[in-house]
Amino acid sequence: MFLDRLEETDQKILKLLIENARYTYSEIGSRLGLSRVAVKNHVRELEKRGIIEAYTTILDPQKLSGAVSCFFEIETKPETFREVVQILSDAPEITQIYQTTGNCRLHVHAVLSGQEELDRFLSEVINKLPGTVSVETSVILSRIKDVKGLRL
């Protein structure tokens, strides 16, 4: 469905990388009947085209340190929208920012070291955002389903 515009070999390579991004070119090649060099060339082209954005290790901060993970639903006035986006983009606690439907609405995810840092972040950053119409904060209690990347 999402990969219809890609050639079949690229589709197969991407499916394997989504399954396990640590597969070597040789492992992928052996599963697909390709040489290591052929797989490497395909992957480099997918990276060059921006289809593969990055490879990363995903940590669960709550299991590491009891961190607090939360979502903010923020609506701003149109004239301050870009400024708010810049302030949030510069905040190291923010991991994701999405513009959503509605008038100047943002869906924002943040990870903070604990309740004390959340309180500080709310008072020093979120509550001081210019032109804010509304803010809703939701603290994540538990992760029920969390799909990483594109599922094919």
Give the Cβ contact number of residue 15 at 10 Å. 13
pLDDT, tens digit (0-9, with 9 covering 90-100), for 9-24: 999 999 899 888 999 9
Calculate what percentage of the chain has a pLDDT beyond 70.
93
pLDDT reported for residue 55: 85
Residue 77: C-alpha distances to residues 51, 80, 131 (Å): 34, 6, 5
The CATH number of the domain covering residues in 8-48: 1.10.10.10
Mean pLDDT of the chain: 90
Using CA atoms of 132, 137, 107, 48 in order, give the dihedral in degrees to the nearest 10.
120
pTM summary value:
0.69
The ranges assigned to domains in the chain are 8-48, 61-139
67 contacts: CB under 8 Å, gap ≥ 6: 61, 111, 112, 113, 114
CATH class of domain segment(s) 61-139: alpha beta
Could you tell me the two tokens for 80? Answer: 């301050």
Cβ(63)–Cβ(140) under 8 Å?
no
Q: Provide the CB-side half-sphere exposure for 6 (13 A, CA).
A: 20
More confident residue, 64 or 146: 146
- Answer yes or no: is pLDDT of 120 > 60: yes
